[in-house]
Amino acid sequence: MNRNRKNFWNPYLGVLIVFLVFSCFVYQGHQKDTIAQTVDNVTKTIRIQQYAKTYQDNLINLTDISERQLIVNQKKALEKNLKNEIAGKLVFSSTGFILPVFRGANSDTLSLGVASTYYPESEMGKGNYILAGYNVDAPSVLLSDLRDLSEGEKIYLIDSTHKYQYEISKIGQISDYPQIVQSGETNSFLSLPKADEKPLLTLLGFQANNMKKVDVIQCELVNIETINK
């Protein structure tokens, strides 16, 4: 009798498990859509500020982040009026995808776009201009598309006065970003170009659920255009 009752309930338990798993996927998808929509709304109204505020860069101290917390951070960033402190925009030529550029990488700036890091006084078109962003494993959401880029593709940085054209020259990964920073390696993606080398743009796509792991795209500067106002 008990054995028959057990067999009777098993199918219902299986259906319940399938339903819960499906609901989880739907909820995660909704969260990523919410993140993407917020960034898209900011991108559509970008007004580049020549004297945009420089925020505290505490990238090295950031921990793993969930989609839910990222949405909370976006709301905080908008309340702090970060969308009016945009220093430039990052443009992928192959897709036309655009992200706002902020000065100083932290939980607020990275929730809405990419942000300069590592070199406090870095400038577009000079040295090694490093931009950090989140990879949340969703197409066209923050820096999630880095793995789809190829060597030779063009990437643009635009500030209030110039358009900088870069060409992808290296693609790689960092398995332990804090270790690279603390070791001060002289031949890493974070290094400055030598005197006879072209200025660099380095994009760091941090895995949101494992901030030690980073997808890296490094580009060389190939052209600078003046923006006529």
Q: What is the C-alpha separation between 195 and 205, in angstroms, rounded?
A: 27
Beta-carbon contacts of 116 under 8 Å, excluding residues fewer than 6 positions away, are 57, 87, 101, 102, 103, 104, 105, 122, 129, 130, 131, 132
CATH code for the domain in which residue 80 is found: 2.40.260.10
Q: Give me the pLDDT at residue 139, please.
A: 87
pLDDT at 28: 54
Judge contact between 74 and 38, C-beta under 8 A.
Answer: yes
Domain count, the chain: 1
| Cα 44 to Cα 50: distance, rounded to the nearest angstrom | 18
pLDDT value at residue 27: 47
Kindly give the confidence (pLDDT) of every residue in the chain, 229 residues in length, as a single tens digit, with 9 standing for 90 and above: 455 555 545 666 666 666 555 554 444 556 788 998 999 999 999 999 999 999 999 999 999 999 999 999 999 999 999 999 999 999 999 888 999 999 999 999 999 999 999 999 999 999 999 999 999 998 889 999 998 999 999 999 999 999 999 999 999 999 999 998 888 776 789 999 999 999 999 999 999 999 999 999 999 999 999 998 6
- Give me the pLDDT at residue 15, please: 62
Nearest C-alpha neighbor of 133 from the set 164, 99, 166? 99
At residue 228, the pLDDT reads 80
- Cβ neighbour number for residue 98 with a 10 Å cutoff: 18
**Domain span at residue 71?**
2-226
pTM for the model = 0.86
Concatenating the DSSP letter of every residue in 116-138 gives E-SSTT--TTSSEEEEEEEE-SS
